[in-house]
Amino acid sequence: MADRARLHRIEPGTPVDLADIGTADTSAAPGDKTTTKAATVPLVDRLAELQEVLWARRQERVLVVLQGIDTSGKGGTVSHVFDGVNPAGLKVTSFKAPSESELERDYLWRVHANVPAAGEIGVFDRSHYEDVLAVRVLGLVPEARWRRRFDHINAFEQMLADEGTTVVKLLLHISKDEQKARLEARLAEPQKHWKFQVGDLDARARWDDYQAAFADTVERTATDLAPWHVIPADKKWYRNWAVASILVETLEDMHLTWPVPEADLSSVTIE
């Protein structure tokens, strides 16, 4: 089997044009929709098993960065892929627009405060990358300022890796037509109206700008220690399988073992 940890991975130094990456490409799947959904179940179970060892060891950390345009499926990915994971060892952080207090500090301050602790899998639903994406597209800071942030981010992730955090970055890549369908589905079902934000339409109007920003960001921050994977995400069943595959292989490559008890338990009896 091919190395699943490299599935849809962007190698450092590779030029990135998202138009060249199919959003509905499922060629790496183990079969059709039914087969692939079935194959995802043991991967989700295996991820839960590996997380238990990670949690028991309390040494290493895993940070999963989820980025993608509105409706790309960040929340759905979390709910499906991490379904069986022990919530005690899972830390999910959703970064919204910064508060007034956060704006008074450097842009990485709130991010660093939420990185996973030893033994945890941390998931960022949006992340520090908003400070080179939304900030760029919306013109919130001068270009010279957001451009130098690429170096800041690379150094930040290098530091995390050096201190024992495995960083996996996933860009959920959908088409404009698929986004339209998902937005319309939210409007058509009253129970999904809470998901619909009028601001999503503003972002959609800047589709090409966001695609250029995503591509530039992936190209400039894809490193060996903090790789990017661009996941074709039009098909939710494929997205879930691909993400689960990457994460399982990544944790297996960490060669985690159960911690050895401090005392010899062979002679312990329970009265």
217 found inside a domain: yes
pLDDT, residue 3, reads: 75
pLDDT, residue 43, reads: 98
Which conformational region is residue 113 in: left (phi greater than 0), alpha (psi within -120 to 50 degrees), or beta? alpha
Q: Is residue 14 within 8 Å of 219, Cβ to Cβ?
A: yes
232 found inside a domain: yes
187 found inside a domain: yes
97 found inside a domain: yes
Weakest mean pLDDT among 138-142, 200-204, 239-243: 200-204
pLDDT of 1 > 50? The answer is no
pLDDT, residue 61, reads: 98
Provide mean pLDDT across the span 73-100. Answer: 95
Smallest Cα–Cα separation from 147: which of 96, 223, 213, 224? 213
Residue 119 and residue 179: Cα distance in Å, rounded?
36
Find the helix or strand (DSSP H, E) in which 252 lies: helix 236-252
175 found inside a domain: yes
pLDDT band at 202 (very low <50, low <70, confident <90, very high): confident
Smallest Cα–Cα separation from 175: which of 223, 234, 118? 234
Weakest mean pLDDT among 25-34, 195-204, 231-240: 195-204
CATH of the domain at 76: 3.40.50.300
266 found inside a domain: no
Number of structural domains the chain divides into: 1
268 found inside a domain: no
Give the residue numbers spanning the domain of 204: 4-252
* Terminal Cα distance for the chain, rounded: 49
3-state secondary structure 90-155: EEEEECCCCCHHHHCCCCCHHHHCCCCCCCCEEEEECCHHHHCCHHHHCCCCCHHHHHCHHHHHHH
At 156, list the tokens.
């930040």
3-state secondary structure 3-17: CHHHCCEECCCCCCC
pLDDT of 244 > 80? The answer is yes
Provide mean pLDDT across the span 139-154. Answer: 97
257 found inside a domain: no
Provide mean pLDDT across the span 155-165. Answer: 97
pLDDT over 70, % of the chain: 99
**This prediction's pTM:** 0.94
pLDDT, residue 2, reads: 53
pLDDT, residue 197, reads: 78
Residue 158 and residue 169: Cα distance in Å, rounded?
13
Please state, rounded to an integer, the average pLDDT across all residues of the chain. 94
pLDDT of 4 > 80? The answer is no
